[in-house]
Structure 1
Amino acid sequence: MLKLKIRQLLLNFNTIVTKIFLKFCYFSLFLFLFSCGSDTVKKENSSESANIEATKSQTKTILFFGDSLTAGYGLEDVNDAFPALIQNKIDSLSLDYTVINSGLSGETTAGGKNRINWVLNQKIDVFVLELGANDGLRGVPLAETRANLQAIIDVVLEKNAATKIILAGMQLPPNMGQDYTEEFKSIFPELAKKNNLALIPFLLEDVGGIAELNQADGIHPTVEGQKNVANNVWAVLESIISLE
């Protein structure tokens, strides 16, 4: 009789242990499946983040490298300078470009050559070179101006041969002398042709020499004048970025 009770107790004990073991197995399986699902979500989130970052990195850059004309000298708001107006135009067309204004008032071609490597620390898709006016107004030897502009072009292309360069043409008032004025004017189309660059024939077309479109100094465009400058730039830039 005692042995029968003991056997019954052992049987009950084994049944309980078996049930506990099965519950433990089911719970372990649940944790495993949940863990896999969590990892999948994490991977999906990571992939999504990577895609977002990749999309951000696809934004292209247009850099305006110039003097006070680019910097927007004399304007109360730098957003009235032509590089900012170009950005507005780009945004209105939903184009994926960011404009950087790297204009420095008083900059010469020699100064530009000295700071170009620092500017090129970032990736640039389109490089708009607007320098030379201060050289001309100071009577810098034309060979020096030409050499400095060529040096800047060389450095940009050495950094990234795929960068599109647009050269902004410039002209001087006649008081500098006819020979100097004419040769200065010819520097820009000649360099553009030599290096196969896009050329803005004259940055200040429909602005230079028009009193109401220039500030009191007669050199720097007013807010209205900057709009015309932006139009001159866009006439060339538009075709360049449409090919990018």
Structure 2
Amino acid sequence: MNAMQENESRVVLAAYGDSLVAGWGLAQRDGLVPRLEAELAASGPCHVPGVRVLDFGVSGDTSLDGLERLDAVLAARPRAVLLEFGANDCYQGIPVKETRAALERMIAALLGAGAGIFLAGWRTRADMFSPCSDDPDLAGLTPIAPPEFNNGYVKRSNALHGELAAKFGLPFMPHILDPLDGQPGCFQADGVHPSAKGAAVLAGFLAPLLAPLLLSPSSK
């Protein structure tokens, strides 16, 4: 098989998001991307022959930052995309309409290129910036809430991914970290970023949800 044929035979999953995709604070081998590739490559019901999971996660990225990297994701010609943005938008108080517009542009372009999309949401807390819960040294939080951050903002932000999933007919999960809830040892010290154990748990949860998108015939 020559290089061109090998490239055409790859089944590519693009993991496209922020630090939760990039594996912030972890050794490269312990991050979500390699764990997810191992889950999908292993024999069993989630096995996807020839799968490669490409890391398009950048720590600190908002959805607007991610949009600037869309061409690189499209150039990889993924069969499916794990799309995960929102946490940093909330931390920075980016208007929800701007986050929505950026995500809609990503989704439309990826679907137009024939990629399946699994949308991973983010659920923020109304007390994110309260004195009892905020620590400027953890998870990139700032001591003072952005002007946009209020109860209305939280409500709109938490509804966003579900609304987009309904509009575009996408499979989704409301909050990327829900599979780790209540499981000891799954978070780093900041309580936000998954530990090596947490990344493994999350990969195990996501693999059966992503496999059907990867096993579907490519429309490209």
For normalisation by structure 2, the TM-score amounts to 0.79
Partner residue in 1 for 2:9 = 58
In structure 2, what is the Cα distance between the partners aligned to 1:55 and 1:227?
A: 28
SS at match of 1:175: coil
Deviation at 1:85, TM superposition (A): 1.0
Larger gyration radius, structure 1 or structure 2: 1
Partner residue in 1 for 2:97 = 143
In structure 2, what is the Cα distance between the partners aligned to 1:129 and 1:243?
A: 18
Partner residue in 2 for 1:86 = 36
Partner residue in 2 for 1:175 = 127
Deviation at 1:80, TM superposition (A): 1.2
Larger helix proportion of the pair: 1
1:152 to 106, 111, 119: 106
Gaps of 5+ in 1: 1-48
Deviation at 1:102, TM superposition (A): 0.8
Partner residue in 1 for 2:174 = 201
SS at match of 2:180: coil
Q: Does the C-alpha gap of structure 1 residues 56 and 124 become closer, same or farther in structure 2, counting only changes over 3 Å?
A: closer
Conserved in 2, the CA contact under 8 Å of 1:65 and 1:130?
yes
Conserved in 1, the CA contact under 8 Å of 2:39 and 2:204?
no
Identity of aligned residues (%): 29
Conserved in 2, the CA contact under 8 Å of 1:142 and 1:184?
yes
Q: Does the C-alpha gap of structure 1 residues 151 and 56 become closer, same or farther in structure 2, counting only changes over 3 Å?
A: closer
Q: Deviations over 1:33-89 (max 9, x none)?
A: xxxxxxxxxxxxxxxx56x863552111100011001000001x1221122111101
Q: Deviations over 1:88-139 (max 9, x none)?
A: 0122125221110110000011101112113322211111111111001111
Q: Does the C-alpha gap of structure 1 residues 220 and 137 become closer, same or farther in structure 2, counting only changes over 3 Å?
A: same
Conserved in 2, the CA contact under 8 Å of 1:107 and 1:134?
yes
Q: Does the C-alpha gap of structure 1 residues 122 and 64 become closer, same or farther in structure 2, counting only changes over 3 Å?
A: same
Higher relative contact order (CA 8 A, sep 6+): 2
Conserved in 2, the CA contact under 8 Å of 1:125 and 1:164?
yes
SS at match of 2:75: coil
In structure 2, what is the Cα distance between the partners aligned to 1:141 and 1:208?
A: 27
**Aligned ranges for residues 193-232 of structure 1 at < 5 Å?**
193-207=166-180, 212-232=185-205
The answer to whether the aligner puts 1:102 opposite 2:53 as a matched pair is no
Gaps of 5+ in 2: 129-149
Deviation at 1:198, TM superposition (A): 1.7
